[in-house]
């Protein structure tokens, strides 16, 4: 399926969706705690449903209560099935793989065609070094894991995905001998480790940071059930802010930030560097954008999910945008560096693709085009916004938004976007 977009001007109010990463963490941690937890204001999306289904498979009771859910767990995993389908969710399959090593049955974890290309081997190597038996399809899903691991000391590279580290951390307190976690080389997406540690603390577990982003000690502990309110998602907010910059600054965005670390808060500083004035007053964000944006050089190592929302701003810059140090954006739902380079060039942007990023220059010859989002939700939404700035575009795979922002199209239409589903 495709969608067609025309030049649009937006205005009015929109609420930022709830945070996907925190929703994943809250559900998994509540599933490892004994008794009932309440998780309020969760993001309901394809990815978070994958996590709910994975936890239900571990024998956890999860019930809907309006916008909230209750999660009631027992002390021991009771497998309902030996296969977990994580659909399109990298976070789900990484965390569920580590948790599966707590069981002594063989568990197969798989996903959709995109997930079957996502790297898993560093996590499997770490689990095998702890005594698990693992298999994979050339390092990708479907994978299998059988425990039971008891913990000890483990090392894992940090240059591919922080999710491998988050997965081991979340599982560690359940291990008889706890875990000493050594991260080799540079660690990408660092703030997601901070998010994991923050959330583990919310569920009663302490992580000892011996050397930040290098070495952590997690003794055996019990997670404690709690009530947790999910904050807004800065990854989705970034797209809304780019829409306001490109399509109309009379947009006010309602957010509930909370006080927890989010990698993609970096969007605020990046937009301000490019000349955008952002105000936050009583949980409402407003922006003022110059006629032409300054460019800038942006290290996205810690916030790879910002690459689509920032790249499309090249449509309104007077100077180049250089994005670097984010090779791991190639291992997401798609190779986001390659797809963004290929598709934004169709609009007339002058793009130089590099191994670890992009250099984007505006041009005077912007033109409509048929854009292929490769069924990547963040690319679909970014290309939609770009297409409504340039006009006369089609974008493939609108159904991909179910992954992180299911009502994106209806919400954008409500604030004035000319989006038409073919």
Binding mask 145-164 for ligand S3P (x = CB under 6 A): ----------------xxx-
Nearest-approach distance from CB 319 to ligand S3P, in angstroms: 27
Query: Among residues 85, 305, 333, 376, which is the contact residue for ligand S3P, using CB under 6 A?
Result: 305
Residue 376 phi/psi, 5° resolution?
-100, 115
Position among 332, 360, 388, 402 found at the interface with ligand PEP (CB under 6 A): 332
Cis previous bond, 148, omega within 30: yes
Give 105's DSSP letter.
S
The residues in 44-73 that bind ligand PEP, with binding defined as CB under 6 A, are 47
Tell me: does residue 378 bind ligand PEP (CB under 6 A). Answer: yes
Residue whose C-alpha is closest to residue 311's, from 254, 371, 399 = 371
Given 85, 264, 305, 397, which residue is catalytic? Answer: 305
CA distances from 295 to 193, 278, 342, 343, 386 (A): 29, 17, 20, 20, 17
Contact in structure between 177 and 148 (CB atoms under 8 Å): no
- Residue 162, annotated as binding a ligand: yes
Q: What is the footprint of ligand PEP within residues 280-319 (CB under 6 A)?
A: 305
**From the CB of 92, what's the least distance to ligand PEP, in Å?**
7
How far apart, in whole angstroms, are the C-alpha atoms of residue 202 and residue 299? 30
Task: Mark residues 17-36: x for contact with ligand S3P by CB under 6 A, - for none.
Answer: ----x--x------------
Q: Judged by CB under 6 A, which of 23, 45, 89, 196 binds ligand PEP? A: 89
Binding to ligand S3P (CB under 6 A) within 83-112 occurs at: 91
Residue 91 binding ligand PEP, by CB under 6 A: yes
In the bound state with ligand PEP, the residue whose beta carbon lies nearer, of 305 and 343, is: 305
What whole-number distance in Å separates Cα of residue 260 and Cα of residue 242? 23
- 336 annotated as belonging to a binding site for a ligand: yes
Q: How many CB atoms lie within 10 A of CB 411?
A: 16
**In whole angstroms, how close is the CB of 218 to ligand S3P at the nearest point?**
17
What character string, x for contact with ligand S3P (CB under 6 A) and - otherwise, covers 252-281?
Answer: ------------------------------
Residue 98's closest CA among 59, 22, 151?
Answer: 151
Which of 146, 150, 151 shows the shortest CA–CA distance to 181? 151
**How far apart are alpha carbons 147 and 128 in whole angstroms?**
9
Which of 40, 45, 35 is closest to 65 using CA atoms? 40
Do you know the residue count of the chain? 422
**Closer of 35 and 327 to ligand S3P (Cβ):** 327
Cα atoms in the Cβ-side hemisphere of radius 13 Å centred on 61: 10
Report 110-149 residues binding ligand S3P (CB under 6 A). Answer: none
DSSP 397: -
Taking the C-alpha atoms of 96, 98, 104 and 107 in order, what is their torsion angle to the nearest 10 degrees?
A: 40
Site string for ligand PEP, 385-404 (x = CB under 6 A): -------------------x
Residue closest to 160 by CA, chosen among 187, 140, 181: 187
Size of the site for ligand PEP (CB under 6 A): 10
Stretch that binds ligand S3P, among 177-185, 186-194, 204-212, 412-420 (CB under 6 A): 186-194
Q: Which is nearer to ligand PEP, 46 or 295 (CB)?
A: 46
Comparing CB distances to ligand S3P, the nearer of 187 and 386 is: 187
**Residue 378 binding target from ligand S3P, ligand PEP, none, CB below 5 to 8 Å by type:** ligand PEP
The option from ligand PEP, ligand S3P, none interacting with 202 (CB < 5 to 8 A, set by class) reads: none
**Side-chain half-sphere CA neighbours of 354 within 13 A:** 11
Residues touching ligand S3P, count (CB under 6 A): 13
3 state SS of 186:
coil
Contact criterion met (CB below 8 Å) for 167 and 97: yes
Q: According to the annotation, is 25 in a ligand binding site? A: yes
* C-beta separation of 400 from 376 below 8 A: yes
Instruction: Judge whether 305 counts as a catalytic residue.
Output: yes
Selection from 288, 380, 386, 388 nearest residue 9 by Cα: 388
- Please identify, using beta-carbon distances, which residue of 84 and 315 lies nearer to ligand S3P: 84
Cα–Cα distance for residue pair 407/397, rounded to 1 Å: 14
Please give the annotated binding residues for phosphoenolpyruvate, written as ranges.
20, 90, 118, 163, 336, 378
Residues known to be catalytic: 305
Q: Which residues bind ligand S3P (CB under 6 A)?
A: 21, 24, 91, 161-163, 166, 188-189, 192, 304-305, 328
């Amino acid at each position: 399926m495709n969608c067609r977009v025309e030049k649009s001007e937006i205005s009015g109010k929109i609420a930022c969706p709830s945070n996907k990463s925190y929703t994943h963490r809250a559900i998994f941690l509540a599933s490892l705690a004994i008794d009932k937890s309440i998780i309020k204001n969760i993001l309901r999306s394809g990815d978070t449903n994958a996590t709910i289904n994975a936890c239900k498979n571990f024998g956890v009771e999860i019930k809907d209560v309006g916008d909230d859910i209750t999660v009631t767990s027992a002390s021991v995993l009771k497998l309902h099935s030996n296969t977990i389908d994580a659909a399109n969710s990298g976070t789900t399959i990484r965390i569920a793989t580590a948790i599966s090593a707590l069981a002594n049955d063989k568990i197969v974890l798989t996903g959709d065609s995109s997930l079957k290309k996502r790297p898993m081997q560093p996590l499997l190597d770490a689990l095998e070094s702890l005594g698990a038996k693992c298999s994979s399809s050339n390092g990708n899903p479907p994978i299998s894991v059988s425990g039971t691991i008891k913990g000890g000391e483990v090392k894992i590279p940090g240059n591919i995905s922080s999710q491998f580290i988050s997965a081991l951390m979340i599982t560690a307190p359940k291990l008889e001998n706890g875990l000493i976690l050594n991260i080799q080389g540079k660690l990408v997406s660092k703030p997601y480790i901070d998010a994991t540690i923050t959330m583990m603390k919310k569920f009663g577990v302490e992580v000892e940071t011996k050397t930040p982003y290098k070495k952590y000690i997690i003794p055996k502990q019990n997670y404690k059930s709690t009530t947790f309110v999910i904050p807004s998602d800065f990854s989705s907010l970034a797209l809304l802010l780019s829409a306001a910059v490109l399509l109309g600054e009379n947009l006010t965005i309602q957010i509930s930030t909370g006080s927890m670390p989010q990698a993609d808060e970096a969007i605020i500083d990046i937009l301000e560097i490019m000349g955008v004035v952002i105000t936050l007053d009583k949980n409402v964000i407003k922006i003022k954008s110059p006629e032409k944006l300054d460019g800038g050089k942006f290290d996205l190592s810690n916030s790879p999910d910002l690459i689509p929302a920032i790249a499309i701003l090249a449509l309104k810059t007077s100077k180049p945008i250089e994005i670097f140090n984010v090779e791991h954006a190639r291992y997401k739902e798609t190779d986001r560096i390659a797809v963004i380079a290929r598709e934004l060039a169709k609009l007339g942007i002058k793009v130089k693709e590099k191994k670890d990023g992009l250099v984007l220059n505006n041009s005077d010859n912007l033109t409509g085009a048929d854009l292929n989002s490769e069924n990547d939700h963040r690319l679909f939404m970014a290309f939609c916004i770009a297409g409504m700035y340039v006009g006369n575009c089609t974008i493939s795979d609108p159904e991909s938004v179910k992954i992180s922002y299911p009502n994106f199209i209806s919400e954008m239409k409500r604030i004035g976007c000319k989006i038409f589903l073919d």
